[in-house]
Amino acid sequence: MPYIYDDQNIFAKILRGEIPCNKVLETEHALAFSDIAPKAPHHVLVIPKGPYVCHDHFALDATDTEIVDFTRTIGRICAQLGVTPGADGAGYRLISNAGNDGVQEVPHLHVHILAGRNIGPMVMARD
């Protein structure tokens, strides 16, 4: 099934400079900025600049160059935030929501980097 990208989504508007963001890092193919409603002391969103809806879309259709740049950008931000797991027990959680069941609000691929406190259980249990 083809992926349908809505270029009016809020992250597309950020990429076009139509609305501001609190930029953390920018590369040729990726942009990282602070989440507007942080759920942890560090809450950074990393997005590719290309029009990809979700992670599987990106993984299947992006170029190797885009994938490497995006993945490295996540690593660089973890290093920049100083949250790389180590002897001090720090760490972080990556989340990438997709589609309705994944409860994705913004239909442009983004990875949440959450850090700065214990992030808690992976998901809430439901019956």
Cβ nearer to ligand AMP, comparing 39 with 63: 39
90 contacts 116 by C-beta, under 8 angstroms: no
Active site residues: 110
Site string for ligand AMP, 24-63 (x = CB under 6 A): ---------x-xxx-------x------------------
Tell me the C-alpha distance between 47 and 111, whole Å.
Answer: 7
Handedness of CA 125, 94, 103, 42 (dihedral sign): positive
φ, ψ of residue 26 to 5 degrees: the values are: -135, 135
Q: Which stretch binds ligand AMP (CB under 6 A): 57-65, 84-92, 102-110, 118-126?
A: 102-110
Site string for ligand AMP, 60-99 (x = CB under 6 A): -------------------------------------x--
Within residues 2-21, the interface with ligand AMP by CB under 6 A covers: 10, 21
Of 43, 15, 20, 42, which is closest to residue 31 (Cα–Cα)? 15
Of 65, 43, 41, 70, which is closest to residue 55 (Cα–Cα)? 70
| Candidate residues 28, 88, 101, 105; the one interacting with ligand AMP per rule CB under 6 A | 105
- Give me the half-sphere count of Cα atoms (radius 13 Å) on the Cβ side of residue 124: 2
Smallest gap, in angstroms, from Cβ of residue 57 to ligand AMP?
14
Binding site for ligand AMP (CB under 6 A): 10, 21, 33, 35-37, 45, 97, 103-106
